[in-house]
Structure 1
Amino acid sequence: MNLISVNRFPLRRLSAMSQTVPPILSVAPTRALVDEKFKVVVENLPPGCPVTLHSLHHSEDKDYWEAYGHYISDHTGTVSVAEDLSFGGTYTGREAMGLLWSMRPVPGSRTGLRLRKMNVCSPMLVNISAYSGHVAEGFRERAPLASVLTERWYMAPGVRRVDIRENGVRGTLFIPPGPGPFPGVLDMWGGGGGLLEYRSSLLASHGYVSLALEYFSPGELESADLEFNYFETAFNIVKDHPQVIPDKVGLFGLSLGSIVTMHLASESTVIKPGCCVCISGNHFHERGKTLRGILQTMGRNSHMARVDENNHHIWRYIGLEVMKDPSKKLDVGKINCPMLLVNGCDDQNWPAVESAEDIAQMMRAAGKEHLLTRLEYPDTGHLIEPPFSPHFRATKFITHITKEKVILLWGGQTKPHSDAQEDSWRKILAFLKHHLYSSSTPRARM
């Protein structure tokens, strides 16, 4: 999205580095979308010189996040993060984006943190620095050899953000630049509640009019007392927008949002989605109940939850218990649009892979399996985010019934989870493009 920025800092005279030309650190591009790669290069080092590349972000919650890798310069005195091996740090190996996806709270931070961008109108600022030697701590007390400030954006230039308060619906609409019309997406997050905009703004940056929908407040079960026609109304707000192709609107849900997605796709007589994307999803259903009723049923089975040795709550066993009752499953065999399921095999919050297999069997029995695409990733947890987002294995969560603050175990291992985020995002965009931008969309055989 922009040009290379280079900063030069005087090199302290060290025994391992006695030279007159200071090192040069470059990051290209310094301004980019969060799902774009950058190249980090250090030049003018002595050959065979140990150096540490470090990233630092000060979050909107006023917490510091960092990542770092240990490198050795080549015979020309150059280190390229995309091409050279990291021999230690928060990541190892040849990892072009390790300085982002391996970010973690700095030592001494609060426990259970999760990094999420709330104000998508401003960039995520990440400072990339080079340090002499292989450093593992005390970065802020050391003088770097060189530093570059980078901007990571969820909104591309020209994307418009519009507050939605229409027919009782609450959310934010993101509209791509240009005259349109564009395909549309109704974007729904999970059981944490609140209004999260960063995925919708990124979808708009890729050419979709996307509505980030708010459907209950964090930790407030009462505000989830919604009939499913709330979501049908939200879908129609997207469909009826003058810059949207009315028969090219999809559904996108994560966790609880995927329950809503599958319900709309299988049960609604009002809307006809062009396709569905469900991340860490399931087909749990309470007939005749509101969304609040679904959450209450989950709460009544909370005795099935377990805790690990760190007292992190494991909720996947609640889901396994609920799934034993066939009456509490959506009839996904009634779905008539293409559906993509994206799941992690180490999901500790919901038995997503087991749910996906059950969904596949139900759709196969209904002659609809050709509509289903499944992505399942080893050592990957519940929170599958846009690429290069840090991995959150366990974070704080407010329970809906007791309003107790706990630390939920989401699962996943950092490297494979991060690989899954990058791979799945690429395939999600390809799936949406194929089904919402193409001239024909496959439908169920009748």
Structure 2
Amino acid sequence: MSSQVRLRLLPSARCLFDEPIQVTVAGLRSRQVVTLRARSTDEKGMVFSSSATYRADGSGEIDLERDPSLRGSYIGVEPMGLLWSMRADTLHKWFQKTHSLNPHVVKFSVHEEEEGRLLAEATNERFLIGDGVSRRPVKEGNFQGVLFTPPGKGPFPAVLDLSTFMSEKRASLLANKGFVVLSVTVYNDKPNNVKELHLDHFEEAVNFLQQQTEVGSKGVGVVSRSKGGDIALSLAAFVPGVEATVWINGCCANVALPLHYNKSQILPALMFDTSKMVPTESGAAMGKYVLHNPLAEENKATLVPIEQAKGHFLFAAAEDDLNWDSKAYMDQMVERLRRHGKNNFESVSYPGAGHYLDPPYGPYFPSSLHGVVGKPVLWGGEPRSHAAAEVHLWKKIQEFFRTHLSCDATTD
């Protein structure tokens, strides 16, 4: 390792998962060409890595906020490119970061272009849970999850985070922003063992949130993606107190499982035809069009009556989602609300983004094993566009909740 070459991560080598950093190199020869690498290991032990080649300026310095990558995992000026372009060596692996207590650790390094000799290195610890945020597992009645509470007495707005399978990432990061967040899953059992879903169980989670002493919002928000999306829509339509609903890359109808509420079925299931899965050479299948048409006469009973909702909606659709026809479903919901004279919604779509829109700066993955289907599927998206969409949407979600989940700051 070269003693005079310095790799710096600014403003600090320790930051939150969703915070950008500035990567700089100093002490190189004038116009020297070097390769920067990033490497991380996920919770399953899978290694993800990226590399990009840069040319130093006349002073022997490189700044990723200013200088373009000449070749490698990405090309051009991409300050956070080494993070979002990390990929696994093995096909169809998603970056598993579902637990909040351990940071996402990324090792950055600078290497000579020709010999590959290590010149400098630095470690970036990217935390999911910030200072003072409390994490508490919850098991109450018919639901279980994890509750994240910001430091202080509040009052804070409350958000229910619906994940298809358990993940604490989005919930813990939202708690860092000043929200009390309860993360719960759609499936508490193996999907094949689940024959129906009960909206009452999710309503219990909503009520639990509203009873927390730190919560000051008069209602709660819900953030969801994929199958969680139609559960979120149903909460907004049927359950009092849901004031703000974020729907990301889901469906406008109740998918796959009948939905019950107050001891009766309220929505039948929109079913799917797996023969419409399109195989690809990579071994992953494209499932975008497997769902039956929710607007067909025989399927209209599966549509969630979102016009009944008293709260507000934020619809976000990735235009290159290869798992759901999300943009079409979003357009159908917008048209439905307008037809009913409603303007309680906003919508945003992202060209070049895929299904898995997450909080930003995690590795992009184009395909992985589908937890319900049981085989690899394509999620879609072009890495650079997908990464930009995650940055934009993450800010938009926070603004939306702050706008529609007002807190009463008065005390008794």
Task: Work out whether the TM-score is over 0.5.
Answer: yes
- 1:346-397 CA-to-partner distances (Å, cap 9, x unmatched) read 11111111111110111001111x2111110111111101111222211112
**What letter is aligned with 1:199?**
R
Distance 1:399 1:438, change over 3 A: closer
Aligned to 1:205: 176
1:377 maps onto 2:350 in alignment: yes
* 1:282-301 correspondence runs (5 A): 282-285=251-254, 289-290=258-259, 297=269, 300-301=272-273
Q: Is the 8 A contact 1:170 1:215 kept in 2?
A: no
Distance 1:71 1:321 in 2: 49
**What letter is aligned with 1:75?**
G
Distance 2:188 2:244 in 1: 27
Distance 1:199 1:231, change over 3 A: same
Aligned to 1:399: 372
1:23 maps onto 2:33 in alignment: no
Distance 1:116 1:296 in 2: 33
**What letter is aligned with 1:306?**
V
Distance 1:228 1:339, change over 3 A: same
Q: Among residues 390, 395, 398, which one is paired with 1:421 in the alignment?
A: 390
1:31 Cα deviation after fit:
0.6
Give the % identical residues.
27
Larger relative contact order (C-alpha < 8 A, sep ≥ 6)? Answer: 2
- 1:286-335 CA-to-partner distances (Å, cap 9, x unmatched) read 799337x9999566532333223434222221235344332221122112
1:224 Cα deviation after fit:
5.9
Q: Among residues 68, 87, 102, which one is paired with 2:85 in the alignment?
A: 102
Distance 1:164 1:284 in 2: 29
Q: Among residues 157, 169, 172, which one is paired with 1:183 in the alignment?
A: 157
User: Gapped runs of 5+ residues in structure 2?
Assistant: none
Aligned to 2:199: 228
Aligned to 2:234: 263
Q: Among residues 154, 171, 185, which one is paired with 2:145 in the alignment?
A: 171
**What letter is aligned with 2:381?**
G
Distance 2:42 2:249 in 1: 26
User: Gapped runs of 5+ residues in structure 1?
Assistant: 1-8, 12-20, 136-141, 440-446
Aligned to 1:126: 106
Q: Is the 8 A contact 1:215 1:224 kept in 2?
A: no
Distance 1:398 1:167 in 2: 26
Q: Among residues 278, 282, 291, which one is paired with 1:319 in the alignment?
A: 291
Q: Is the 8 A contact 1:216 1:224 kept in 2?
A: no
Q: Among residues 48, 52, 55, which one is paired with 1:72 in the alignment?
A: 55
Distance 1:131 1:225 in 2: 55
Q: Among residues 274, 282, 307, which one is paired with 1:310 in the alignment?
A: 282
Q: Among residues 322, 327, 336, which one is paired with 1:362 in the alignment?
A: 336
Distance 2:314 2:178 in 1: 19
Q: Is the 8 A contact 2:268 2:301 kept in 1?
A: no
Distance 1:299 1:338, change over 3 A: closer
| SS of structure 2 residue aligned to 1:26 | strand
Distance 1:303 1:158, change over 3 A: same
1:55 maps onto 2:38 in alignment: yes
Distance 2:267 2:42 in 1: 31
- 1:158-212 CA-to-partner distances (Å, cap 9, x unmatched) read 110001011121100000111112100000013xx3x211110001011000001
Per the normalisation by structure 1, the TM-score is 0.85
Distance 1:294 1:265, change over 3 A: closer
Q: Is the 8 A contact 1:301 1:321 kept in 2?
A: no
Aligned to 1:92: 75
* 1:427-438 correspondence runs (5 A): 427-437=396-406
| SS of structure 1 residue aligned to 2:197 | coil
Distance 2:43 2:266 in 1: 32
Distance 1:148 1:24, change over 3 A: same
1:156 maps onto 2:130 in alignment: yes
| SS of structure 2 residue aligned to 1:264 | helix
Per the normalisation by structure 2, the TM-score is 0.92
**What letter is aligned with 1:230?**
H
Distance 1:417 1:313 in 2: 20
Distance 2:15 2:329 in 1: 36
Q: Is the 8 A contact 2:6 2:120 kept in 1?
A: yes
Distance 1:295 1:315, change over 3 A: farther
**What letter is aligned with 1:279?**
I
| SS of structure 2 residue aligned to 1:317 | coil
Distance 1:25 1:286 in 2: 49
| SS of structure 1 residue aligned to 2:275 | helix
1:49 Cα deviation after fit:
0.2
Distance 1:334 1:290, change over 3 A: closer
| SS of structure 2 residue aligned to 1:216 | coil
**What letter is aligned with 1:389?**
G
Distance 1:105 1:200 in 2: 25
1:226 Cα deviation after fit:
3.0
| SS of structure 1 residue aligned to 2:223 | strand
| SS of structure 1 residue aligned to 2:72 | coil
1:154 Cα deviation after fit:
1.0
Q: Is the 8 A contact 2:236 2:243 kept in 1?
A: no
**What letter is aligned with 2:97?**
K
Distance 2:104 2:267 in 1: 33
Aligned to 2:380: 411
| SS of structure 1 residue aligned to 2:243 | coil
Distance 1:285 1:379 in 2: 26
- Regions of 4+ moved over 6 Å: 293-296
Q: Among residues 389, 392, 417, which one is paired with 2:362 in the alignment?
A: 389
Count, aligned residues: 402
